[in-house]
Amino acid sequence: MAKTVSLKQISKAFTDDKGKLTYAVEKVNLEIEAGQFVTLLGPSGCGKTTTLRMIAGFEDITSGDIFFGDENVNEVPPNKRDCTMVFQSYALFPHLNVFENIAYGLRIKKLSQEAIRKKVESVLNIMNLNDYLERMPSQLSGGQQQRVALARALVMEPGVLLFDEPLSNLDAKLRVVMRDEIRRIQQQIGITTVYVTHDQSEAMSMSDMIIVMNKGKIEQMGSPMEIYQRPKTKFVADFIGSANFVEGVVKGIDNGRLLIETHSGILKVRRDGFKIGQAVTVVIRPEAVTLTKGTTHLGKITKSIFMGQTQEYEVEYDGQHLQITEHNPIQEHVFQVGHEVSLQFSEDSLHII
Ligand SMILES: Nc1ncnc2c1ncn2[C@@H]1O[C@H](COP(=O)(O)OP(=O)(O)OP(=O)(O)O)[C@@H](O)[C@H]1O
């Protein structure tokens, strides 16, 4: 049965080489609903793996409490916790074939031969691995090995499934296939999942909730859309997707839209909760700007690159270089380096922090 997971004021401190105490994770609070897919996302060293390892029980916690459902699991050893971890390295047994790799945990639990066969067959079906039963891990591709690793975790029917960067060793195309597959299976089974990655597209495409971490703390949590469209800090805006930042001051309100005065004119932003006179940073996503031949908000193209589905521009504007993306570019309308352009800002897509 899928379980809720609660982290209450969880901290992990390490003593560094000079004997100084440093926090890898500091006072993290997190409530994960049963059946939810939650991703811990952040740059290298932000504490996501340490957090996952504390949930798994591989890492002692310095302070705080972890609950699976109503049970405090602080003192429960990893093999007794109702969770299974899928590792980046797959960690398959090289001397066992696919069937036996998947059956391994069930044999340790001393299930009957018949029960083991039934359970293994059921995950083999879910994972499309029926044709590979007899193969050894060395005879499988990276993607197939990852599937076996996932099948081995699923067969244990854990309350919580944990993933530590499971797709890092796969090539770009296979990563997309596998992430869709993991999400499909997770939804089909409805299992609570905590997934660690530093790849924002993986987090965006798979998660119900993304937890953005920075320096051992949670910077923001929310649905992929909230995190992308309503980042609370520059760090989040910059880490998820690309973002341009323009500094300004709130000058007034017009029809429910804030008027932000910037160096090169007024930007209108549909947003509440800011006061007149307040200094703000306008977050401008690359797709929130349309380039035309108009006469307002003028800028100059400094880079123009055709990427197939998009044309990627860099535009000198307001003393800085903005990254702007145009979707479905048409050859006759594409601007070249040196062209002067007018920037039209989509007020619904702009955001301020
Ligand atoms: N056993 C340890 N002893 C000392 N410091 C540690 C230990 N394990 C982790 N750290 C430190 O804690 C911080 C967080 O590490 P963690 O592995 O959780 O980060 P991460 O976000 O998962 O990074 P990555 O994506 O690189 O794996 C880092 O600064 C790391 O150096």
CA of 155 to the centre of ligand 1 (A): 30
pLDDT the model gives residue 351:
92
Kindly write down the DSSP assignment for every residue of 127-163, as one continuous string: TT-GGGTT--GGGS-HHHHHHHHHHHHHTT--SEEEE
CA of 59 to the centre of ligand 1 (A): 11
d(CA 118, CA 20) in angstroms, rounded, equals 53
User: Which one-letter amino acid corresponds to residue 58?
Assistant: F
Which DSSP letter does residue 286 get? G
pLDDT the model gives residue 125:
85
CA of 187 to the centre of ligand 1 (A): 30
List the residue whose alpha carbon is closest to atom 5 of ligand 1.
14
CA of 46 to the centre of ligand 1 (A): 7
pLDDT the model gives residue 19:
87
Quick one: which of 92, 19, 10 has its CA closest to 56?
A: 10
86 near 148, Cβ under 8 Å?
no
List the residue whose alpha carbon is closest to atom 10 of ligand 1.
24
Which of 16, 49, 197 has most ligand 1 atoms within 8 Å of CB, for mutation? 49
pLDDT the model gives residue 30:
98
CA of 30 to the centre of ligand 1 (A): 19
pLDDT the model gives residue 53:
97
List the residue whose alpha carbon is closest to atom 30 of ligand 1.
45
| 3-class secondary-structure state, position 95 | coil
List the residue whose alpha carbon is closest to atom 20 of ligand 1.
45
Kindly write down the DSSP assignment for every residue of 163-184, as one continuous string: EESTTTTS-HHHHHHHHHHHHH
pTM reported for the whole predicted model: 0.89
Which of 10, 39, 50 has most ligand 1 atoms within 8 Å of CB, for mutation? 50
Which of 18, 46, 87, 88 has most ligand 1 atoms within 8 Å of CB, for mutation? 46
What atom of ligand 1 comes closest to residue 40's alpha carbon? 21
Residues 6 or more apart from 233 whose CB is under 8 A from it?
219, 220, 353
Token look-up 């922090």 returns 353
Ordered by start, the domain boundaries in the chain are 5-238, 242-352
Q: Tell me the mean pLDDT per 10 residues along the chain, length 353.
A: 94 90 96 97 95 96 97 94 89 93 93 94 86 92 88 91 90 87 90 95 96 97 95 94 92 89 86 88 94 90 95 92 94 92 90 92
Give the Cβ contact number of residue 317 at 10 Å. Answer: 23
Topology (CATH level 3) of domain 5-238: Rossmann fold (3.40.50)
CA of 230 to the centre of ligand 1 (A): 28
CATH number attached to the domain at 242-352: 2.40.50.140
CA of 143 to the centre of ligand 1 (A): 27
Residues 6 or more apart from 141 whose CB is under 8 A from it?
none
pLDDT the model gives residue 44:
93
Ligand 1 shell residues, CB under 6 Å: 14, 24, 42, 44-50, 198
